[in-house]
Structure 1
Amino acid sequence: MRLWKQLLICLVILLVGLGVWVHFVPGADTMLAKAGVPPRLIALMAKPAGEAKDGGGQEQAQGQGRGQGRNQGGGGGGAPLVVTQPVDIAVVNDRLNAIGNGAAILSVSVTPLATGNLTEILVKSGDKIEKGQVIARLDSDEQVISAAQAKVAVDSAKEKVERNRKLGDAVSVAVLRDAEFAMQAAELALKTAELDLKRRDIVSPSAGIVGIITVNPGDYVTTSTPIAVVDDRTQILVDFWVPERFSNKISVGQDVSATAIALPTSELSGVIDSIDNRVDAASRTLRVRARIDNPDDTLRAGMSFSVEVRFAGDQYPTVNPLAVQWSADGSYVWRVQEEKSQKVPVKIIQRNSDKVLVDAELAKGDAVVMEGVQRLRDGGAVRLAEQQEQRRDRKPATEPTEQKVSEAETAK
């Protein structure tokens, strides 16, 4: 075989291979265009094999091709047929759900200010008490005697001062001053004795509900022995933790809604009371405290709550997962405008089973290709499957007229 024939055969095989490559490999036409191949040659290689076959094939295939051409409005040429779906807009980071623990707005563990034996307990569990109310007493016989002795000493010192003052010049100033100092010391001793006696009464430093009392009359208690826990439940504080991405969005005074896990039908509302000043390095979360009113006293300290906080959120376009394609430059989608395909780079923000949130130059309602992406090229013409279906739906309305014309011609 001569050399020119061998070269011709190799050239034909090369062209056929390039055509197959362009036809089946996405993005091949773009690579050839970058390499300097003329667009007409690329379009010729990208033609489907079915079109070439129609030129010299069987009559039945030609008839089907002509019928499809009529159904498609007589146009389309070699433009690929695609299925599109409009772009929608979704909002993310617009709410926060967390589980928190409740605590009374004020909780006090009442302990004695002195040591001794309990003589009586004046409250019981569940009682509502006021601030300063006596809840228990210690034995106070010794303190009563000390207070009485201090009272006698004060009376004696006062009498001595008054007697010296009546004597006038007969008593020196020094003697009078010593008597007055003795009276002041006696008064201070009386106040100390009265304070010791007062401390034998165990009082509540705050108003609230008394918890379970764990001591009994006759027990010896010290200043570290808890007598009772008093909770002010008019408001409940709920501590919960939020991811660090919300640290610059949440603020004091922001409204929150909550539901007690033990009371699923309850709908509670409150506000953010305080925010911690740092993010926990281990969990990457921020501690937040919400305050919820409890006017009916249905909530208890220690209950768990489901807390929801709403924000303005971030809006992103959403596309069908099938529309997202990948190349060496990253992810992208094909957008159709004026029956031409456009390659739009996208950055994936969130991937769900039914939609993908992307950061891209896409507007709501833009048509994005989700089927038929294999033969698309940037700026190339496309045919929309939706338009083809609409044309097929309109076709039966013209068939009866054509049939009547045929019957009239036959009758003639």
Structure 2
Amino acid sequence: MASLVILAAAAAAWIVFVPGATLTLASYGITLPFVAPAAEPASPGSGRPAGGAGGGRGGANRQTNVVTTPVTMASINTTLTAIGEGTAARSVTIAAPTGGNLAEVLVRPGQTVAAGDTIARLESDNEQITYDGAKLAADDASATLERTQGLANSNTVATTAVTAAQLAYDKAALDLRNAEVTLGRRTMTSPITGTVGLIKVTPGNYVTAQTPLTTIDDTSAILVDFWVPERYAPAISLDTPVSVSAIALPGKKFTGKVRAVDSRIDPASRTLQIQAEIPNADGALRAGMSLSVALNFPGEHYPTVNPLAILWSTDGSYVWKFVDGKAKRVPAEIVQRNSDGVLVRADLAPGEAIITEGILQLSDGAAVTLLSGPDGSTDQAATKP
């Protein structure tokens, strides 16, 4: 019994204090005998407020007070950041071309060498003796050939003697070249200009052709290999500018360009491998550094609305736009949510007024009263920064 009394009291309070309650009941065919019928809305220019002379609650054309905020534009997918590892523009490992005892190392770690500079030598006594013997034999063969040719000119010797001397000289010359190559293989030189790495062996050790002696890196430029999602593949091409920062060098920025783009997408990760080249004249970057690579793109531009303006229905998300004193429903597909706004795919222009307060009482085409905010006019939209 007490429950019925409480329900009846609540219903009576709703009818008395909620504006438009009698109209709501009337729309369902319920007429209360103790409540006066709602007054007709005032005609334009009559000077009488809607809802009767006293301006009572629940007028049929009762306006809703609203607050609006302007539509702004925002861009997404304008920057891509990836992590890559730096490598030297050119890098070689110095190793002995043949086996032998290491006689001397002529460089030190961190030293800059030019192409052709000697790095180390193997013991070469035997090879030097062989070369010297070949050199003597070649010199003797050359002198014999010259003397035989002189005698042939005076018809002192036969032509066959000249031919034999020529063959002897050619063989001696080949032996000399072979001895020279063998001796040269005892010396290790740098094929590039660069910086010497750590020396991994010391003089006196026996080394083979598979024993690395040191490395030389040309770090005048640093190559960065990184991977990007396949959706960015069409936007990246050779010479695309990149910006690079090193974790080990906070606050410093380096610029470069894309040097190479892989010809295929990795099917496992759905990413594309990119290689960028970063000039490094001052040597600040080192091979092996972890680098953050950033690429800029035109991006995609979308209208941005206040998060409070978004509503949902069975047809999806939508917003209310303030147009000429009325509320207009505009479908708004959400693209991305940010802390300061929601990017939407909708028929909205920068500066247009979107209702953010009073939205729960609106219907399409309903008249509303603007309390604060832009009215979406052309002038206001044009003066927005």
TM-score using structure 1 length: 0.72
1:150 counterpart = 2:134: yes
- Structure 2: segments with no counterpart, 5+ residues: 1-19, 40-50, 374-385
User: Which residues of 2 match residues 137-176 of structure 1 at below 5 A?
Assistant: 137-168=121-152, 169=155, 171-176=157-162
Q: Output one character per residue of 1:168-198: Cα deviation in whole Å (capped at 9) or x when no partner.
A: 2454434432321221121011011111111
1:83 counterpart = 2:67: yes
| Separation of aligned partners in 1, 2:81 and 2:228 | 8
CA contact (8 A) 1:88 1:319 kept: yes
Q: Which of these residues, 169, 182, 196, is aligned with residue 183 of structure 1?
A: 169
CA contact (8 A) 1:83 1:370 kept: yes
1:315 counterpart = 2:339: no
Q: Which of these residues, 85, 95, 102, is aligned with residue 111 of structure 1?
A: 95
CA 1:373–1:68 in structure 2 vs 1: closer, same or farther (change >3 Å)?
farther
CA 1:191–1:342 in structure 2 vs 1: closer, same or farther (change >3 Å)?
same
* Equivalenced residues, count: 334
Report the Cα offset of residue 365 of structure 1.
1.4
- Structure 1: segments with no counterpart, 5+ residues: 1-22, 25-40, 58-64, 388-412
Report the Cα offset of residue 53 of structure 1.
6.6
CA 1:246–1:69 in structure 2 vs 1: closer, same or farther (change >3 Å)?
farther
| Separation of aligned partners in 2, 1:82 and 1:273 | 56
Match of 2:280 in 1: 294
Report the Cα offset of residue 357 of structure 1.
0.9
| Separation of aligned partners in 2, 1:296 and 1:76 | 78
Amino acid at match of 2:94: V
Report the Cα offset of residue 110 of structure 1.
1.0
Q: Secondary structure at the match of 1:216?
A: coil
Report the Cα offset of residue 56 of structure 1.
7.7
Match of 1:128 in 2: 112
Report the Cα offset of residue 228 of structure 1.
0.7
1:265 counterpart = 2:251: yes
User: Which residues of 2 match residues 348-363 of structure 1 at below 5 A?
Assistant: 348-363=334-349
Q: Which of these residues, 346, 349, 352, is aligned with residue 332 of structure 2?
A: 346
Report the Cα offset of residue 68 of structure 1.
10
Q: Which of these residues, 78, 82, 86, is aligned with residue 94 of structure 1?
A: 78
Report the Cα offset of residue 102 of structure 1.
1.4
| % same residue | 46
1:304 counterpart = 2:290: yes
| Separation of aligned partners in 1, 2:271 and 2:241 | 20
Report the Cα offset of residue 260 of structure 1.
1.5
Amino acid at match of 1:123: V
Q: Secondary structure at the match of 1:315?
A: strand
Q: Output one character per residue of 1:252-275: Cα deviation in whole Å (capped at 9) or x when no partner.
A: 223322222111122322222322
CA 1:188–1:53 in structure 2 vs 1: closer, same or farther (change >3 Å)?
farther
TM-score using structure 2 length: 0.77
CA 1:337–1:232 in structure 2 vs 1: closer, same or farther (change >3 Å)?
same
Q: Secondary structure at the match of 1:104?
A: strand
Report the Cα offset of residue 325 of structure 1.
2.7
Amino acid at match of 1:279: I
| Separation of aligned partners in 1, 2:60 and 2:288 | 70
Amino acid at match of 1:158: S
Q: Which of these residues, 222, 227, 240, is aligned with residue 226 of structure 2?
A: 240
| Separation of aligned partners in 2, 1:157 and 1:362 | 96
Amino acid at match of 1:110: I
Report the Cα offset of residue 67 of structure 1.
12
Report the Cα offset of residue 134 of structure 1.
0.5
Report the Cα offset of residue 368 of structure 1.
1.8
CA 1:149–1:56 in structure 2 vs 1: closer, same or farther (change >3 Å)?
closer
Q: Secondary structure at the match of 1:242?
A: strand
1:337 counterpart = 2:323: yes
Match of 2:42 in 1: none
CA 1:268–1:213 in structure 2 vs 1: closer, same or farther (change >3 Å)?
same
CA contact (8 A) 1:241 1:285 kept: yes
Q: Output one character per residue of 1:103-156: Cα deviation in whole Å (capped at 9) or x when no partner.
A: 222211111222211001111111111111111000111111111221222233
CA contact (8 A) 1:76 1:383 kept: no
166-175 or 82-91, which deviates more? 166-175
| Separation of aligned partners in 2, 1:378 and 1:365 | 21
Q: Output one character per residue of 1:286-333: Cα deviation in whole Å (capped at 9) or x when no partner.
A: 222222222332221111122222222221001123322333333322
CA contact (8 A) 1:102 1:302 kept: yes
Report the Cα offset of residue 81 of structure 1.
3.5
Q: Secondary structure at the match of 2:137?
A: helix
| Separation of aligned partners in 2, 1:69 and 1:274 | 76
Q: Secondary structure at the match of 1:263?
A: coil
| Separation of aligned partners in 2, 1:245 and 1:118 | 54
CA 1:66–1:127 in structure 2 vs 1: closer, same or farther (change >3 Å)?
farther
Q: Which has the higher helix share?
A: 1
161-170 or 131-140, which deviates more? 161-170
User: Which residues of 2 match residues 364-375 of structure 1 at below 5 A?
Assistant: 364-375=350-361
Report the Cα offset of residue 199 of structure 1.
1.6
Q: Which of these residues, 197, 203, 215, is aligned with residue 217 of structure 1?
A: 203
Match of 2:47 in 1: none
| Separation of aligned partners in 2, 1:135 and 1:174 | 49
Q: Output one character per residue of 1:198-245: Cα deviation in whole Å (capped at 9) or x when no partner.
A: 121110111111111010111111222111111112222222222222
Amino acid at match of 1:260: A
1:279 counterpart = 2:242: no
CA 1:159–1:336 in structure 2 vs 1: closer, same or farther (change >3 Å)?
same
Q: Output one character per residue of 1:326-383: Cα deviation in whole Å (capped at 9) or x when no partner.
A: 3333332222211222222222221224321111110011122333333433333233
